[in-house]
A and B are shown apart, each in its own frame.
Chain A
Amino acid sequence: MHIHFTDQYHEGESLIHRLDPRVKVILTVTFILTVSLTPFGAFGSYVMLFALLMATAVSAHMAPIYLLKRSIIALPFALAAITLPFTVPGDTLATVPIFGGITISQAGTIRFVSILIKSWLSVQMAIILVTVTPFPAVLWALRALRLPSPLIAIVSLMYRYLFVLYEEATRLLRARAARSATVDGVRSGGSIVWRGQVAGRMAGSLMLRSFERSERIYNAMLARGYKGQLRTVAHSHLQTIDFLVGTVTVLILLTILLFARIW
């Protein structure tokens, strides 16, 4: 595995790419908050939010198909809302002829579809954020926005060693695959408990290696003058365009929200 698999950033040159990372983080969160506050069944507002999303993607030179492929990650969770059409009371839309007839209500179906759309809109905006912003810049923005700096430092360090430990885990998995030969038709591998224990020992040995690695890293940091805090330089400064884009987007989002709440 190569290091750039750990970053979703796609190099590009656009207005969206150039925006200050702080503005991009705030706008993403505001967008998701707006989506969350939009009532169920406000399909007109969903279309407007989707238009804003697509406008952002297009002006950042992102292919909509890429967004679509990536946004599938939230799909399995739809199962959590699947009962809504059957449990929310309301006008009957249809009756399923099993168990003596289960009714599908209109209100429940609207709510189910709304939840799926809202989830899908939110996840796409989050994808755009990390596609147009290098992840270290996202972390810098979070720190600049006054999130606890030790926590951001922990996430930064984690991000830096992610691929190292992931590679270590991959080697463990490869070694297990190499010693687990199977012959067709012959039962192989121990019981589930045994297999679980093997995986557990792999996790344990990875944990010990991580411990020892963290010691080495700490010593190396000390040798370079570490005093308990990570120091960073400013990534960027706010420009006029940042204020402009930020204000306009927030106004658009407010308008959509008002539209959804009043109509």
Chain B
Amino acid sequence: MNWYPFLTGLSAPQQLHIPDGFLSAPVAIIGWVLAVLTIAYALRQTREQLGERQIPLLGVLAAFIFAAQAINFPVAGGTSGHLLGGALAAIVLGPWAAVLVMTAVIALQGLLFQDGGLLVMGWNIINMGILTAFTGYLIYLAIKRIGGSEQRSILIGGAIGAWLSVEVGASATAIQLALSGTTPLNIGLPAMFGVHALIGIGEALITVGALALILRSRPDLLRQGEQAGGTASAAWVAGGLLISLIVAIFSFAASGSPDGLERVAEDHGFIGSALDPVYHILPDYTIPFIPNETVSGIVAVVLGTLVVFGVAMMIGRMIKTERAESHS
């Protein structure tokens, strides 16, 4: 049994494990700072929640997520559906425990198998661990709250949460690549969003299958995950991450360039060939170019999220009314 084909097969279709070199150093370091703060808080929260069981439980479940990522199913044309696992872990364990489980998985993949870089690991942890866990968990809870705690709303909540968690992680990756000047947002974001809309379906199907089985054999586990606590703080941190992401985008946009020195060098080359005064070139090109792209990207993300939230709300309502009718 060889590990390499299994690992490359794992990372190739997902395109979420960012290797070193694709993010600029400032962007990578911001990612580490955000990740470390969240992990530190998660460590404290799970310590209260799990006590001494923290290390054995989370360690074995991290190994589970790693192994479960090898479980695939054929889709079409040689492609296959995979599990990322952040949403599933968050629904069963609670968001803070899931953050630690996913952090361990991503750390091991990066350290031992070079699946994802070391300097950019902060963002990999945020994209695939923190954002997926919070998105999956909060959507699942919201739909359960609207639709009631019967099996159908649990499964629908799990499905939408899992699908959206992959989308949020992919969109965040696209934003970081744009901030580093690797992929323009107007190309990267639609591409990541589009590809992961399909990959997210695999994630949703596997998550629902797993939840259905757990619901039938150990329903007590799901109740534990919900009472894991930290829902309010989870929402705060998710909001805080979102705000800091937006602030980061705007601060980079305001400075007019994602990576100062390189941009300046390019502008100089451009100026040299255009033979025009500097103050003529700047308003025509640098300032309008970046912010427009960034702002349109932000608008796209916000609109997309709102649409999905709207659809989720509507589905929740439909379940609720249907249930009310069948009861009457």
Binding site for B on A (CB under 8 A): 1-2, 5-8, 28-29, 32-33, 35-37, 39-40, 70-74, 76-77, 79-81, 83-84, 87-91, 107, 111, 115-123, 126-127, 130, 135, 138, 148, 150-151, 153-162, 164-166, 168-170, 172-173, 189, 192-193, 195-208, 210-211, 213-214, 217-218, 221-222, 226-228, 230
B81 within 8 A of A: yes
- Complex A-B, nearest 6 residue pairs according to Cβ-Cβ distance, in ascending order: A200-B209, A157-B59, A196-B205, A119-B21, A204-B213, A122-B20
Q: How far is the CA of A175 from the CA of B205 in the complex (A)?
A: 20
| Assembly CA distance A235 to B184 (angstroms) | 46
Contact across chains for B55 and A157 when beta carbons are under 8 A apart: yes
Neighbouring A residues of B61 by C-beta, 8 Å: 207, 210-211, 214
Q: Which A-chain residue is minimally distant from B92 (CB atoms)?
A: A207
Complex: A29 Cα to B114 Cα, angstroms: 13
Picked from A91, A116, A199, the residue with its CB within 8 Å of the CB of B71 is: A199
A33 to B119, alpha carbons, bound, how many Å? 7
Q: Which of A5, A77, A170, A227 neighbours the largest number of chain B CB atoms within 10 Å of its CB?
A: A77
Q: Does B149 contact A (CB under 8 A)?
A: no
Question: Of A107, A189, A195, which is within 8 A of B266 by CB?
Answer: A107
Say if the beta carbon of B172 comes within 8 Å of chain A. Answer: no
A19 and B182 CA atoms in complex are apart in Å by 36
Q: Which residues of B contact A (CB under 8 A)?
A: 1-4, 7-8, 11-12, 15, 17-22, 24-25, 28, 39-40, 43, 47, 51-64, 66-68, 70-76, 81, 83, 88, 92, 100-101, 103-105, 107-108, 110-115, 117-119, 177, 181-184, 187-188, 201-202, 205-214, 217-218, 221, 261-262, 265-266, 269-270, 273, 285
Given A203-B210, A206-B68, answer yes or no on A196-B60 (Cβ-Cβ < 8 Å): no
Instruction: Kindly report which residue of chain B lies nearest to residue A205, judged by CB atoms.
Output: B213
Contact residue among A73, A79, A123, A155 (Cβ-Cβ distance under 8 Å from B62): A155
Q: Which residue of B lies closest to A139 (CB)?
A: B111
Known: A28-B118, A39-B261, A126-B118. A90 touches B269 (CB 8 A): yes
Chain B contact residues: over half helix, strand or loop, or mixed? helix
Asked if residues A200 and B210 are in contact (CB atoms below 8 Å), the reply is: yes
Q: List the B residue with the shortest CB-CB distance to A210.
A: B64
Q: What are 13 residue pairs bridging A and B, where the CB atoms are less than 8 Å apart in the complex?
A: A6-B112, A77-B22, A80-B183, A135-B111, A150-B43, A172-B71, A192-B75, A192-B205, A199-B72, A204-B213, A207-B92, A208-B217, A214-B53
With A173-B70, A207-B64 in contact, is A148–B43 under 8 Å at CB?
yes
- Cα distance A154–B129 when bound, in Å? 15
What is the minimal beta-carbon distance from B200 to any residue of chain A, in angstroms?
12
CB distance from A200 to the nearest CB of B (A): 2
How far is B116's CA from A69's CA once the two chains are assembled, in angstroms?
A: 16
A195 to B320, alpha carbons, bound, how many Å? 29
Smallest Cβ distance from A104 to chain B, in angstroms?
Answer: 15
Evaluate contact between A70 and B114: CB separation under 8 angstroms. Answer: yes
Find out whether the CB atom of B57 lies under 8 angstroms from the CB atom of A214: yes
User: Which residues on the A side are within 8 Å of B7 (C-beta)?
Assistant: 73
Considering the chains assembled together, what is the distance between the CA atoms of A201 and B88 in angstroms? 12
Decide if B56 touches A221 in the complex (CB within 8 Å). yes
Residue contact B73 to A196, C-beta cutoff 8 Å: yes
Contact B270 A161 (CB under 8 A): no
Q: Are B2 and A210 in contact (CB under 8 A)?
A: no
Asked if B20 and A165 sit within 8 Å, CB to CB, the answer is no
Q: B19: which A residues are within 8 A, CB to CB?
A: 73-74, 77, 119, 122-123
- What are the residues of chain B within 8 A of A77 when measuring CB–CB? 15, 17-19, 22
Q: Which residues from B are CB-within-8-Å of A210?
A: 60-61, 63-64
The residue on A at minimum CB distance from B57 is A214
B275: min CB distance to chain A, Å? 13
Shortest CB distance A147–B (Å):
9
In the complex, the answer to whether B52 meets A226 with C-beta atoms within 8 Å is: yes
Among A7, A74, A198, A202, chain B packs the most CB atoms within 10 A around the CB of: A74
Residue among B15, B28, B117, B212 with most chain A CB within 10 A: B117
Is the pair A115, B22 in contact by a Cβ cutoff of 8 Å? yes
* Chain A residues, Cβ within 8 Å of B205: 192-193, 196-197, 199-200
Contact in complex: A218, B56 (CB < 8 Å) = yes
A213 to B39, CA, bound (A): 25
User: Shortest beta-carbon distance, A47 to chain B, in Å?
Assistant: 16
- Knowing A107-B269, A126-B117 are in contact, say whether A8-B112 is a contact too (CB < 8 A): yes
Contact of B11 among A76, A161, A214 (CB under 8 A): A76
Q: Which of A71, A170, A230 contacts B55 (CB 8 A)?
A: A230
Residues of B within 8 A of A197 (CB): 205, 208-209, 212
With A107-B269, A169-B68, A214-B56 known to touch, is A73 a contact of B114 (CB < 8 Å)?
yes
Q: Inside 8 A of A199's CB, which chain B residues have their CB? A: 71-73, 81, 83, 205-206, 209
Residues of the A chain whose Cβ atoms lie less than 8 Å from the Cβ of B266: 88-90, 107
Name the contact of A228 in the complex, choosing from B1, B52, B105 (C-beta under 8 A). B52
Contacts of B201 in A (CB 8 A): 196
Chain B residues contacting A200 (CB-CB under 8 Å) are 205-213
Q: Give the shortest distance, in Å, between A48 (CB) and chain B (any CB).
A: 17
Candidate in A172, A202, A221 with the most chain B CB atoms within 10 angstroms = A202
Partner of A158, one of B53, B108, B184, B285: B108
Known: A76-B11, A166-B63. 6 other contacts (CB 8 A): A5-B1, A119-B19, A199-B73, A201-B210, A210-B63, A218-B56
